[in-house]
Structures are given as structure tokens and as C-alpha cells.
Amino acid sequence: MTPSTLPGYLSPFLTPERSPRQAAVEWFRAARYGLFIHYGLYSLLGRHEWVQYRERIPVDEYARLADRFTAERFDANVIAQLAVDGGMRYVNLTTRHHDSFCLWDTKTTDFNSVRAPGCGRDLVAELAAACDQRGLGLCLYLSHGRDWRHPHAPNNERFAQSALPAYDPPDPTFATGDQYDLNRYLDYLTEQVRELMTGYGPVAAIWLDGIATPLSPRGEDGELIPDYDPRTHGDPFRCQQLYDLVHELQPQTLVSYKQGYLGTEDFFAPEHKAYNRFGESFEHRPGEVCTTMTPGSWGYHAELENQHLSADDVWARLADAAAHHCNLLLNTGPRPDGSLQPSEAEVIRTVGRRLEREGFPTG
């Protein structure tokens, strides 16, 4: 990208001495606070985003949820404005969670919001436009280490961290034995990343999830490889090629893979507390602690509605993140129709008003 096509929010950080990627790192550090949105088919059931895995719902049965997916009250402008009102500088959306349902107009699968008969919308495009209008960074979550639908996704034969639900009998969707080829899944992932990086304008970050699976491969004897480290044992997931593709397509886009996989990620993004696999100080490489308004669930959970963090709780998490030189990425799970939970949204606005009065806590 030329300077004229870089996102406007980077302008204050661009200097002759800084590359677009270096400018993006400085922007990310200064941003400090972002909004995470977990939304997908699992939201319809309201029993946690891992409901397919936990309840061992067969693939074909789960897929029928797409017929009920309308997102009729998913309003990207409302979401983006909530981030602004909350004092946040970027928004991260689950473009595809572990259940494999995509929220954009992907050509890699018909299992997406555009092809859902009651929806017919590209939610990623809508959010990209809303963020651009408000000068917010657009971050795109993508499940990498887990996919509960693709025939060649990481499976339980090859990985000790159970990547698929424990179907009994085995679900016929998934390739096994000599028919299984992880590279077919990785090719699919690469094409999805290419679509997201070329179809939605400037992307602030690609945020990969599911790291426990690639960190737990089985050896030829079927047992977990002890002390596995992809930097020395080799990386069957071709992550560096994927990172390089992101940077080739948009040089300012940052890449994260949770607490770190290869150590070449642009920032670390662990859950709930500040740490990384490499023991690095977050003063030297950016960090972002992600946590959720509803403890115990990232996607909508009907039984837990209104059981969420208070404004003081969120403030304490902001202070803790600041103490560790990290950002805070705060999650909310929209209701089945896509609307935000009112009481959670009000907490976010309350924190935003306090930030406007007092500035960020120093930790």
C-alpha cells in the first residue's frame, strides 16, 4: 500500500523513518483499548460459542442453524459507535469461529452469512465500512487451529489437543487415515485470509485462534511430541507463510496468534492475563489481553445475560493491562438476532465516559 491508501488512523504515526508496519505497531500501542465481538450460529442456541463441541452436535444437524440465521438486528454502525463511545480505538469481529460459519462473502464455502437464506448479508463488509467512517481499526478474528466442519481440518488422530468434538460414532464428514491431508485445510485457510485481506479495505490486524491444536501434534506413534516447539521441530501449519502473505498484501496489517506460536507475530494476545510463550517483556513487543464481559462465555449465553463485569471491573482490567504495558480487548456477545446486550453496552459507555474525564488508568 502507498501512503495515500493506508488507513487514516495511521497518519499521526507515519514518519520517513518508519515503515507502515512500524507505524502500525506504534498506533496499536497508543490505541490501548478495543472491542471484541463474538457472533455466529452458536449465538442462536445461546449456550456458549463451543456448544457444537461440548454437546457433540452432528455436523449436518448444526449446519441447519444457517437456515435460522437472520442477523436482522446486527447493526455495524451501532457496534462501531459503541466502540467510539467506550473510548476504544479498534473493533475485532469473529469472521469465522471454530464452527466454520463465515460472516463474509467467501468463495471457499457456501456455509456463510451471504448464502444463509434469511440473512444474505456480508457482515464483515458492513463492519469495515462502519469502522472506516469512524477512524477505527478493523481487526479480523479467524479460527486457525480448529474447524468443526472442514473434512481436512486438524483432527484427533494427528493432534493430542482434541480439535474435533468427540463424536461417537465418528462423524462421516471428516477424512481419516490415509485420506486425511492437512494441507488441503491450510490451502483453504490461506484463500480465506487472502479474501479478507483484499476485499475489505485496510485491515488493522489478523487475529488467529486455536493455538493449542498446532502446539500439540502427535508423533508417528500417536503420542504427544514432548516439549514440541515449531521453531525447532518444524511447523506443519505453514504459519510463517501465512504471516508473510498478510504483510505482502497489506504491509501495515499486524498479525497475532494468541500467546505466540513462532515468536514472529507482531503482537501477543493472551486470554485474561498478560503472558506469552517466550517470556518477552511487553515493553519490547506489543501485547493485548482479551477478556469477556460475561465470565465463562464469549458468545451469547442466555442463562448468563446480565451477569457481567461492572464498570469498575472493566476499569480494573484496564489498569492491569496498563501495568503490563498491554492493551485490553473487551468482548461482548450479541444476542441471536445480532443486537447488543443493553446492560453490557451501558457498562462500556460508562467506562468510556470515565475515560473521557480521567484518561486511561496507569496501572
Q: Locate the domains of the chain by residue range.
A: 3-358
Q: Which residue has the cell 501495568?
A: 323
3-state secondary structure (DSSP) of residue 331: strand
Find the DSSP H helices in the chain: 20-31, 42-45, 51-54, 59-63, 76-85, 123-134, 182-199, 230-233, 239-249, 311-323, 342-358
Tally helices (H) and strands (E) across the chain.
Answer: 11, 7
Grid coordinates of 241: 507463510
Residue 162 has a pLDDT of: 84
Contact criterion met (CB below 8 Å) for 293 and 344? yes
Residue 3 has a pLDDT of: 47
pLDDT band at 363 (very low <50, low <70, confident <90, very high): confident
Question: Helix 239-249 crosses helix 182-199 at what angle (to 10 degrees)?
Answer: 20
Residue 172 has a pLDDT of: 96
pLDDT band at 29 (very low <50, low <70, confident <90, very high): very high
To the nearest whole percent, how much of the chain has pLDDT over 90? 95
Tell me if the pTM is above 0.95: yes
CA distance 227 to 219: 12
Question: Helix 311-323 crosses helix 342-358 at what angle (to 10 degrees)?
Answer: 50
Task: For residue range 241-261, list pLDDT tens digits in order.
Answer: 999 999 999 999 999 999 999
Q: Which residue has the cell 460459542?
A: 49
Residues making up the chain, counted from first to last = 363
Contact criterion met (CB below 8 Å) for 163 and 150? no
Residue from 98, 35, 39 nearest 73 by CA:
39
The secondary element (H helix, E strand) that includes residue 39 is none
CA distance 218 to 41: 31
pLDDT band at 50 (very low <50, low <70, confident <90, very high): very high
CATH code, 3-358: 3.20.20.80
3-state secondary structure (DSSP) of residue 305: coil
